[in-house]
Structures are given as C-alpha cells and as structure tokens.
A and B are shown apart, each in its own frame.
Chain A
Amino acid sequence: MRNALIKKKEVMQGSIAVAEAVKSARPGVIAAYPITPQTYIIEHLATLIANGELKSRYVRADSEFSAASIVYGSVAAGERSYTASSSQGLLLMTEVIFNMAGTRLPVVITGVNRSISPPINIQNDHQDTMVLRDSGIIQLYVENIQEAVDTHIQIFKIAEDKEVLLPAMVCMDGFVISHTYEPVTIWKDEAVQEFLPPFSPVYKTDPQNPLTYGSLTDDDKVTEFKYMTNEALVKSKKKIIAVAREFQEIFGNHYGDLLQEYRTEDAEIILVAMGTVISTIKVAVDALRKNGKKVGVIKVRSYRPFPDEELRTALSKCRLAVVVDKSYSCSSGGILGSEIKACLYNQRGPSIINYIAGIGGREIFPETIKDMVVKSEKLAESGKIPDGSVFFDLNKQLLNNQLL
C-alpha cells in the first residue's frame, strides 16, 4: 500500500529532498533571495521550474524583504506561496512575517537555521528562527532529512486550514540537514496532492475586488485582533496533531504530535531540545541507559504553538529536566529553557537546568550530553541548581585572553 505512494527512494542531499517535497505541494508562486545554507533549496526549485517539471511562477527578488513581500502579495491573491531563508535573511524578512501572521496569510517558509552575525559565521544554531517566535508564525523543528521532507508536506495543510490561516515555518538545521546526504523517500506527486488539496483562501484580493489587509485600527479593537491571532496559533495545535496522524495513516511516518518522547517512561532525568541535536542526545541516552542511568529525551517538534500543557504532562514524573538550548536571549538566558521554566512554575514539576550550547556550529557530541547529565546530577544532589542558564561549552581560557 505504502510502496504504491513512493516515487523514489535514494540517497539525496537534504536541500534537494526538501525542494522535491515543496515541488510536490505545487506552490503557485516562489520568491527567494539566496543565502547560505538555504541556497540549494531555491536553486533546485528554480531548476525544476526551468525544466518544466513544476508549473510555478519563480521570482528572483532583490532582497529577503522583497521575497517575503512578494509571497505576502501572492498568497493574498489566492496562490499557494513559498520562500526560504537563513540567518540575516530571516531577520530582514521579520517585518513582513509579523504582517503575514497579523493579516492571516499562510505563506510557508523554510528556515534553514544558521547563526546570526557578527561574527560572520555560516554554521548552525537556532538564534535566527527563535527571533521570530513572537510574530504568530507556526514553527516546527525537524530532526533529519526524511522528517524535513514529510513536515514540509504537512505544514502547507496546517497553515492553510481555515481555522489556522497563519504563516508556517519548517526549521531545519543548516548543513546538518541541508547539506548532508541520507537515504530519503520522495512521495509521488499524486499521493501528496491527494493528501494536500489545493489552497482555497477565505479572502482573495484582485484588481476587480480589491481588499485592504491590516487596515488602520484604533485601540478599541487592536487587542481583539491580536487576541484572535494568538488564539489561532493556540488552536493550531489540534490541526498539527491531526495532520501528523493523518500523514502517518497514509504514508506511515510519524515524528510525534507536538512532542516526541524517547525512553521517558521510567526516566528520572529528561533532556529537552529541538532539531538535529535530538539524534545525538538519543545516542547519549542509549549509552547512559547501558550504565543504568534512567535517562530519556523529549524532542520539541512544535515550538510555536508552544506545547505548554504537553510539556507539563511529559515532565511531571521526572526529578530533573535538562534543557539544551541552541539560542539565547541576551541577559535572560536560553530561550527554550526559560519558556519551559515559565510553563512549569507553580507546578509540582522537576528541577530544571538550562544549558546553552552549540552556538555558531560548535559541535555537541554524545560525550557533551553525557557530561551535561553527570554535571546536572551533581548540581541537583548538592542542591546547587543554577538560577539562570549556563553556557555549557564556553572556552574560559579563550575568554581570559581577550583583548580590550
């Protein structure tokens, strides 16, 4: 049954596989501006259009701000629309992304995670996509290439649902997913099209029937409009779960509803993280389990909407949670860690230790994770849980040698 849905199964580069998935969702308009590590995705889509394999309008924009504005317009005109970016490019799109969310336009964006400059660095961390967290955009983080492929197909359906209507982003780690090769299954276009019906917008603007998006509104209604966007994001949880399960039924793959738990049933210590580092943590968890440590891991798949209730339930039975953050809010700490602490405050939950690591592509090895677990246990035993977040892989020697 499932074999009948497979177009091809081969070793592919992450970016090419993602472009094939986007192609099968057949967006009417794609606009983009190149930035490493997003480039191969939009290059491959341009090739598919040039070859006539994808009937879509491709616009080479003069900046990420333009690219985002073009797909803003095309989705308002009723076309399924797509763009992708990274790092500074996502920052430049930010103003438009707030507008997409506020005026409820379901553009799909791939955020290929890359560190933010300065210092200029093309490697991976989560700072770029985390900056968008307050906009109202849906953000799903993925762990490997197949999950990136399948999540792209799912996310169009989630974003365009009439009860959701929000921009949505697949956050995939730059290089670790975009530039590596893995065996990947690409689904037949017909199978994807059956799963994902054409976009049917609620509002559609054209020269004969012009509409105003985000009209001037005074303080007597602004709170209500903002509340409606917030509610749509909260309610999109249900849709994300339903679409993940429907996808599983048809295609067989499932990556968790909002969270995915691994060996947490009897875990005393649970690590929490997002993206590809989850695979590294799973390897470390298996090794720690062999030594008799009851450790598990929770992957936060849906970061926006934030799975607060789900995390409260999933973390209720362990005694210690170790949150690994690849981003931080200056002077406040790890972002995922701070939000998990906030959602567990006033609950009878575990102690929480928050580590910031892997910034600018600094490798997080299974040994790094084991080290985190051992150090966290010691801190918990001696009652010295740090109040704030800790930069785990900081090179103190380098700091001591800094020049003013």
Chain B
Amino acid sequence: MKLNIGCITEAGLSKKNRTGYWRYFFPIVDKEKCNGCGICELFCPDSCIQIKDKKCVVNGYYCKGCGICARECPRAALTMQPGGEEAE
C-alpha cells in the first residue's frame, strides 16, 4: 500500500471508513417494543440507524457502539450487547 504525503486522499472517504470495528457493544433491537418513532435515528452521531417498515435497523458497518441510541429510546427497545454484524 502506498502512503500519500500528509494523509491527502480523495474526498468523501467517511463512507469507506469502517468505524464499526471500534465497537465493543452493539444495540440489539427488540422488535416487539420498537414502534419506529425515529428518536434513535435522530440521535445517532454516525447516522447509521434507518427506520425500515417502522422498525429501527442499525448498520453494523458504521455503528461504533456508543450507546446513545439505547439511552435515548423512550421504549427501552434497544439493549447494548457485545458483538453485532459488520455487514453493510
């Protein structure tokens, strides 16, 4: 691999950065409790939550495991647990 001086690279690389590997805990969604309100989606600092079919879906490639979503969920539908899928 070649290193460009000054870490100068093409722009828009945050899409490629796999922040998921920083993670230790991952938010597991309890689909029974989740009503798709989208609060977790708003609060996630890495924009890695999407609401699909009125349920929270977390992107394991980017989720860094900070736990903010679980803390903010008003229905306690998210539980932080070790692991999580890394696939996008």
Taking Cβ atoms with an 8 Å cutoff, the residues of A that contact B are: 102-105, 165, 202-203, 205, 210-217, 221, 224-225, 228-229, 232
Contact = CB atoms under 8 A, between A and B. Distances in A.
B10 A212 contact: yes
A328 B13 CA distance: 42
Contacts, number: 54
A336 B10 CA distance: 40
A211 B5 contact: no
25 contacts: A102-B6, A102-B7, A103-B6, A103-B8, A104-B8, A165-B6, A203-B4, A203-B5, A203-B6, A203-B8, A205-B11, A210-B12, A211-B8, A211-B11, A212-B9, A212-B10, A213-B6, A214-B8, A215-B7, A216-B13, A216-B14, A224-B3, A225-B3, A228-B5, A229-B6
Contacts of A232: 5
Interface string B1-29: 00111111111111001000000000000
Contacts of B4: 203
A211 B13 CA distance: 9
A228 to B, nearest CB: 6
Contacts of A105: 6
Contacts of A221: 3
Contacts of A224: 3
A225 B7 contact: yes
Q: Is the interface of A mostly helix, strand, loop or mixed?
A: loop
A217 B7 contact: yes
A229 B17 CA distance: 23
Contacts of A228: 3, 5
Interface residues of B, number: 13
B7 to A, nearest CB: 5
Contacts of A214: 6-8
Interface of B: 3-14, 17
Contacts of B6: 102-105, 165, 203, 213-214, 225, 229
Contacts of A203: 4-6, 8
Nearest to A100: B6
A92 B26 CA distance: 40
Contacts of A217: 7
Contacts of A229: 6
B4 to A, nearest CB: 8
A210 B11 contact: yes
B13 A212 contact: yes
B3 A213 contact: no
A217 B5 CA distance: 13
A213 B7 CA distance: 6
A215 B5 contact: no
Nearest to A165: B5
B3 A103 contact: no
Contacts of B13: 212, 215-216
A104 B8 CA distance: 9
A345 to B, nearest CB: 32
A73 to B, nearest CB: 14
A222 to B, nearest CB: 9
